[in-house]
């Protein structure tokens, strides 16, 4: 991730913040459309989940300025995801739903360069979560 990519992710996410609720609706709608088998992993009532996801994304995007603090938090998030039944292959499905949501939410502001920046940043988050999951598994957690 270079400074320009960090800036693009932060400035584009700031545009999604005012429509966070709709963005979360779009995201989970798309996620369960791509892979309906994921639906039963989540609670029936998604209200809180939607808030938690947007809060965590907000913290992660802000945290790009301070990776030493962000990384342990994201590793722990990844370790908890093992307990939710999340497997490595699911991260690609979530990436697809996220990029689709950003495209819907941002329209023309979601330029190819902005999309590439999100691909890079999501890749870092997903890899860090997966690392957290594997080291927790290795430690027998």
Radius of gyration of the chain (CA): 15
Q: Measured in whole angstroms, how far is the alpha carbon of residue 129 from the centre of its chain? A: 10
**Which is nearest to 12 in space by CA: 137, 101, 132?**
101
Q: Judged by CB under 6 A, does residue 36 bind ligand HEM?
A: no
Interaction between residue 94 and ligand HEM (CB under 6 A):
yes
**String of DSSP letters for 114-125:** HHHHHHHHHHHH
Q: Which string of x and - marks every residue 38-77 that binds ligand HEM (by CB under 6 A)?
A: x--xxx-----x--xx--xx-------------------x
90 binds ligand HEM (CB under 6 A): yes
> What residues make contact with ligand HEM under the rule CB under 6 A?
38, 41-43, 49, 52-53, 56-57, 77, 80-81, 84, 86, 90-91, 94, 125-126
């Amino acid at each position: 991730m270079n400074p320009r990519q960090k800036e693009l992710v932060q400035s584009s996410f700031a545009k999604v913040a005012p429509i966070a609720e709709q963005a979360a609706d779009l995201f989970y709608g798309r996620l369960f459309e791509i892979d309906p088998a994921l639906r039963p992993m989540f609670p029936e009532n998604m209200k809180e989940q939607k808030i938690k996801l947007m809060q965590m994304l907000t913290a992660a995007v802000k945290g790009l300025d301070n990776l030493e603090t962000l990384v342990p938090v994201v590793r722990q998030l990844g370790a908890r995801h093992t307990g939710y039944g999340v497997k490595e292959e699911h991260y690609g499905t979530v990436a697809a739903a996220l990029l689709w949501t950003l495209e819907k939410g941002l329209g023309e502001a979601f330029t190819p360069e902005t999309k590439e920046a999100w691909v890079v940043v999501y890749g870092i988050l997903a890899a860090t979560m997966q690392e957290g999951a594997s080291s927790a598994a290795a430690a027998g957690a």
